[in-house]
Amino acid sequence: MKSDGAPLQVKATDANQRFSRLLAESEQGRDIVITKRGRPVARLQSIHTAVTDTPIGTPVEGEVPDFEKRTDIIETCRRMNDIGLNQGTSGNASVRVEGGMLITPSGMDYDMMVPADIVKIGITGRLLHGHRRPSSEWHFHCRVMEAMPRAGAILHTHSINATALACLGMGIPSFHYMVGVAGGRDIRCAPYATFGTEELADAVLDALDGRLACLMANHGMLVLGRDISDAFKRAVEVETLAAQYLKALAVGEPNLLSDGEMDVILEKFKTYSGWAQPNK
């Protein structure tokens, strides 16, 4: 008879000794997740169980700290690829946690990632926890988190329209009031610098002065948020604005809102919970 409840978690060493019993439990309808050093490595799924998407992972108490935040990062990165906000293994994400930040590993497919693959680093970039190399862009993640202590998450993507503008060395002016979601009257484009360098971190910090988002010349976009969900929402809006601006430019010169009108918009956003300012 099919068993109800969560999958049975078994350490790899125990699984070797119990394999015959585990097969019997699987035949009876029990799903089994085999873990190694806290990371799910295999799953026995009962033939009586409906096939579902493989879960990102299962927490093992004491072995994967900040499990939920790690899961949120992976889900967000997968989602941004699913909707075309990013492609492949490009882009990266970080979330502030006690004692430092969690950041995506370097060059790893998001669909293959599990919570234990997310790396914890200190605000200076020192490795604190993890078995993988942190994103090559850890420099600007650390510098931005240090400079903007109320920012809870950073998301960097190579979205098509924002990157197209960045490859032209163009930012996004006040052609639409929603430009205010980036925290200022416009969205700046940081000058080009090689990825993974302190020079790029310097350029990004300058472009983010008083802002929650920027473009990076010949590279992509970067956004801040209170948390990873807020950052994702802002990244979607910046990409939408980039697409709208490019379409407007294809027809003519867009009308720009005045500084005074943008100041009114920014004041309204302060009391609009959907777009609170995480770095103020």
State which fold the 67-275 domain adopts. L-fuculose-1-phosphate Aldolase (3.40.225)
CATH code for residues 1-63: 3.40.1620.10
The pTM is what?
Answer: 0.78
13 or 156, which is more confident: 156
Q: Where in the chain is the domain with CATH 3.40.1620.10?
A: 1-63
pLDDT at 33: 72
Our answer to whether residue 137 is catalytic in this structure is: yes
Condensed to tens digits (0 to 9), the pLDDT of residues 152-164 reads 999 999 999 999 9
Give per-residue burial for 8-23: e unless 16+ CB within 10 Å, then b. Answer: eebeeeebeeeeeebe
DSSP 98-116: TTEEEEPBTT--GGG--GG
Say which DSSP state 88 is in. Answer: T
Condensed to tens digits (0 to 9), the pLDDT of residues 64-104 reads 889 999 999 999 999 999 999 999 999 999 999 999 999 99
Those residues whose C-beta lies under 8 Å from the C-beta of residue 252, and which sit 6 or more positions away, are: none
pLDDT score of 128 more than 50:
yes
Q: Where in the chain is the domain with CATH 3.40.225.10?
A: 67-275
CB atoms under 10 Å from CB of 84, counted, come to: 12
Catalytic residue among 68, 75, 137, 237: 137
Those residues whose C-beta lies under 8 Å from the C-beta of residue 133, and which sit 6 or more positions away, are: 105, 106, 119
Provide the pairing of β-strand 8-11 with 32-36: parallel
Q: Whole-angstrom Cα distance, residue 24 to residue 29?
A: 9
pLDDT at 55: 57
